[in-house]
Amino acid sequence: MAVTEQTSESFLDELRSWLEENWDPDLTLAEWWERLGLSGWCSPTLPTNAYGKGMSRSDANRVGRTIAEFGAVGAPGGLGLLLAAPTIATHGTQEQIDLYVREIVTGQKAWCQLFSEPGAGSDLAGLTTKAELDGEEWIVNGQKVWTSLGQTADMGMLIARTNPDAPKHQGITWMSCDMHQDGVELRPLIEMTGHAMFNEVFLTDARVPDSAVIGGVNNGWAATNTTLANERAGLGAGGGSGGSGLTPGTIGDMLDKRAGDWAPDPAKAKTGGQGPRQRAGSSMMEDLARSMGKNTDPTIRQDLVRLHIMNRLGQMNGERVKAAKLSGKDIPGMANISKLAMSDLVRLNRDLGLRIVGAAGTLHGYTAEQTAALNEATGNPMLAFVTGGALYAQAPPIYGGTDQIQKNIIGERVLGLPKEPGDFKTTPFSELPKNA
C-alpha cells in the first residue's frame, strides 16, 4: 500500500510539472487537447502505444482531479474516450490506433455508440443491421436506437451482422463508421427530462471502408465485449473520470474556443479527493438537507449516512481493483457490481432528494425561464438539481446493460450458475426465431 502511495505521489508531481510547462489558457481547445492528448495525460488508462500511460482507473481519476485542481481544462468528454479508444487500443492495429485513438484523445473527433436496435438491446447479439462487402467497402443497412450524443458525433462504433449463417455471436463485425455521410440519418428522441440526448439512427446503404473494421471480420463480439466492459467499469460507482465534460469533435463547435474560458475553478475542484458523482451524491445532498432544515429528521439522516457509505464503498472497490491489478490479478464481476451499485446510488439520490424537497419535487423546470421561476417561487435554488436527477435516475439502471443483465452475468460467469437454455451457440443466426 505504501509503495502504491509513493508511486502515486510521484506521478502526480510529474503531471503538475507538465501542466506548469504546458497549460496556457490562451490556446484554443483544439490546441490544448492536442498537447494533453499526445502527452498521455488525457486518458492515462490507455496503453502507452495508444496515447496513454497504462494506469489503473483510480489513478487516472486522480490525474483528472489534479488537472482540474490545477485549473486546466481536462480531457474531452463523450463516448470516444470512454468506449471507442479502449476498444480500438485493444483490438485495432497500430495504424488504426494512430488514426482513430489519436483523433479521440486530441478532441478532434466525437464518437457515438451504434449498438442497440429496436429488436436487440439486452440480447445485443440478436442484432439485424447487416453489412455486405462490396469491393473495398462494406454497405450497411439497418436501424439503431438510443444512440446517445449521435447529434454531435463524427464517428460511430458500429456493430453489424456480416455472416447471418454463423451462430449469432460469431457473425458480427465492429466497425468505425463515418457519421458524415448521406446513408446515415439521425432522428432525435426526446426524454422525460425534456432533453434529446439520444437518437434513432437509420443506416441506408451507408459505407464503411474495409480498413475501418476493428478486430477482424466476424470477430466483432470480442471487440463489443471490450466496449461493454469499459462502459460498465467507466460508468460504475466511483468511476468519475474528472474530464472536462466538454464536447469534442467537429460538430460540437468548441474546438476554436479559448481554453481558459472553459477552465474549472481550482478552488471548487478541491473536494477532498472525491469525483463529481460522489460530490453530487453526498455533500450536495447534505447541503440540501441542511438548507431545508431536514438534517434533524432521523430517517433523512439515516439515508444521508447510507448514501455516504455507498459512495465510500464505490471508492474502496476502486482501490481494491487497483490493488488487484497491481498484483496481476482481477476481481471477477467487479465491473458489473460497480454498475449495479451505481444504479442503487442514483435511486437513493432520487428518493432522498425528493423526500427532502417535499411537494415542490412534483414541479420541474424544462427551460431556464421555468427553472428560474420555480427557484423564486419555492426559494430553493437546488430544486432543479433534485428533480432533474430524479427524472434521469431511470437511465443508469438501463444503459450499458440493465440491472437484470448485470445480475445474469454475475450469476453465469462469476458464480458459475447454469446458463440460459437454448442452442443459440451452435444454430446459424438465420435459423433462429426473431422478434417481430
Ligand X SMILES: Cc1cc2nc3c(=O)[nH]c(=O)nc-3n(C[C@H](O)[C@H](O)[C@H](O)COP(=O)(O)OP(=O)(O)OC[C@H]3O[C@@H](n4cnc5c(N)ncnc54)[C@H](O)[C@@H]3O)c2cc1C
Task: Give the helix/strand (H/E) hosting 311.
Answer: helix 298-326
What is the phi/psi pair of residue 19, to 5°? -65, -40
CB atoms within 10 A of CB 324: 14
Task: Answer yes or no whether residue 121 interacts with ligand X by CB under 6 A.
Answer: yes
Task: Answer yes or no whether residue 7 interacts with ligand X by CB under 6 A.
Answer: no
Task: Answer yes or no whether residue 424 interacts with ligand X by CB under 6 A.
Answer: no
> Which range in 4-12, 258-266, 309-317, 404-412 contacts ligand X by CB under 6 A?
404-412
Nearest-Å Rg of the Cα atoms of the chain is 22
Those residues whose C-beta lies under 8 Å from the C-beta of residue 141, and which sit 6 or more positions away, are 129, 130, 203, 204, 205, 206
The number of CA neighbours under 13 Å toward the Cβ of 114 is 35
Residue found under cell 470480442: 222
Q: Which of 398, 410, 414, 432 binds ligand X (CB under 6 A)?
A: 398
Joined grid coordinates for residue 103: 483523433
Closest approach, Cβ 400 to ligand X, in A, equals 6
CA distance 64 to 74: 6
Q: Which of 7, 17, 48, 122 binds ligand X (CB under 6 A)?
A: 122
CB closer to ligand X, 29 vs 201: 201
For ligand X, the binding residues in 136-155 under the rule CB under 6 A are: 146-148
Pair 238, 314: CB distance under 8 Å: yes
Query: What amino acid occupies position 109?
Result: K
Q: Which residue's Cβ has the minimum distance to ligand X?
A: 121
Task: Answer yes or no whether residue 340 interacts with ligand X by CB under 6 A.
Answer: no
CB atoms within 10 A of CB 257: 15
CB closer to ligand X, 123 vs 330: 123
CA distance 112 to 119: 19
Task: Answer yes or no whether residue 405 interacts with ligand X by CB under 6 A.
Answer: yes
Closest approach, Cβ 193 to ligand X, in A, equals 9
Q: Which of 163, 170, 291, 402 binds ligand X (CB under 6 A)?
A: 402
Closest approach, Cβ 404 to ligand X, in A, equals 3
Task: Answer yes or no whether residue 408 interacts with ligand X by CB under 6 A.
Answer: yes
Closest approach, Cβ 199 to ligand X, in A, equals 9
The contact set with ligand X (CB under 6 A) reads 112-113, 115-116, 121-122, 146-148, 198, 395, 398-399, 401-402, 404-405, 408
